[in-house]
Amino acid sequence: MCDWLQVEPIVTPGNEGYVHHTVVYGCKSTFNPNLTTVTGPCYDRINMPPDITSCAGQSSLWAWAVGAGPFFYPKHVGFAIGAGHGPRYVVMEVHYDNPSNTEGVADYSGLRFHHTAQTRMYDAGMIWAGWAPFDAMIIPPQQKEWISVGYCSGECTEAGFAQSTLPDKGINIIAILLHTHLQGVKIWTRHIRDGVELPEVARDDNYDFNFQEFQVLPEEVHIKPGDDLVQMCHYQTMDK
């Protein structure tokens, strides 16, 4: 077994304006190893093998977005892989932004994972909270303030953290990636326990789509089973 200790984005020179974000998903143990060289649209259910379409969009191991540099795990934390820990196969999903429909762009972007055989005290993971994009999520034009709210309920954290090995259960948040799109101007994460609002997990009142860096928290935030997380996204559409 070993631990990831650093994740580094590799963007093909000249393609910085096309590569939007990258997500790595862990696949089921039944994944067909003969598919490791297959590429194409991840959710093309006609031409893409089911093992890939069923893996993409499921268990997230890592995410990178525009403007972020390398991420270093704290010295006591690593992402465990190998020897029965984590998936044997992953799918890397890259989203592109090509509004001018430029043809002939070749891209070789990806991620470089640095690992060590010296395993660390705590295992890292990822949790997503907020709105998943869908067709009914409409933001009207000419709005100075439009707020959408995404909930990760206490029922969700109760079930999701049931197998935590921390002494007081739950998880410790070490870093957070606040993500929305071009109309987003503010974004913050609320933390509620037993009906009482605790200090915010993170906030960005000057959100910049082109600088989506993981925020390493100055102090780890403990989320107990049963806690609520509320993701607040503030949009401004006066230019629409």
Give pLDDT tens digits along the chain (240 positions): 788 899 999 999 999 999 999 999 998 888 999 998 899 888 888 888 999 988 987 888 999 999 999 999 999 999 988 767 778 889 999 999 999 999 999 999 999 999 999 989 999 999 989 887 777 788 999 999 999 999 999 999 999 898 888 878 899 999 999 999 899 999 999 999 999 999 999 999 999 999 999 999 999 999 999 999 999 999 999 998
Statement to judge: residues 64 and 32 lie in one domain:
yes
Residue 87 falls inside a structural domain: yes
Statement to judge: residues 111 and 153 lie in one domain:
no
Q: Residue 83: what pLDDT? A: 67
- C-alpha to C-alpha distances, 232 to 27, 131, 197, 201, 222, nearest whole angstrom: 30, 9, 14, 11, 19
Statement to judge: residues 110 and 157 lie in one domain:
no
Statement to judge: residues 147 and 118 lie in one domain:
no
Q: Residue 23: what pLDDT? A: 93
Q: Residue 64: what pLDDT? A: 94
Q: Residue 155: what pLDDT? A: 95
Statement to judge: residues 174 and 107 lie in one domain:
no
Domain that holds residue 180: 143-237
Q: Residue 84: what pLDDT? A: 72
The total of structural domains in the chain comes to 2
Q: Residue 132: what pLDDT? A: 75
Q: Taking the alpha carbons of 98, 42, 58, 123 in that order, is the dihedral positive or negative?
A: negative
Domain CATH for 184: 2.60.120.230
Domain CATH for 113: 2.60.120.310
135-142, Cβ contacts within 8 angstroms, sequence gap of 24 or more: 139/183, 139/235, 139/237, 140/237, 141/237, 141/240, 142/237, 142/238, 142/240
Residue 201 falls inside a structural domain: yes
Domain termination site, one of 123, 153, 185: 123
Residue 137 falls inside a structural domain: no
Residue 86 falls inside a structural domain: yes
Residue 133 falls inside a structural domain: no
Q: Residue 137: what pLDDT? A: 81
Residue 135 falls inside a structural domain: no
**Residues 31, 51: contact at Cβ < 8 Å?**
yes
Q: Residue 58: what pLDDT? A: 80
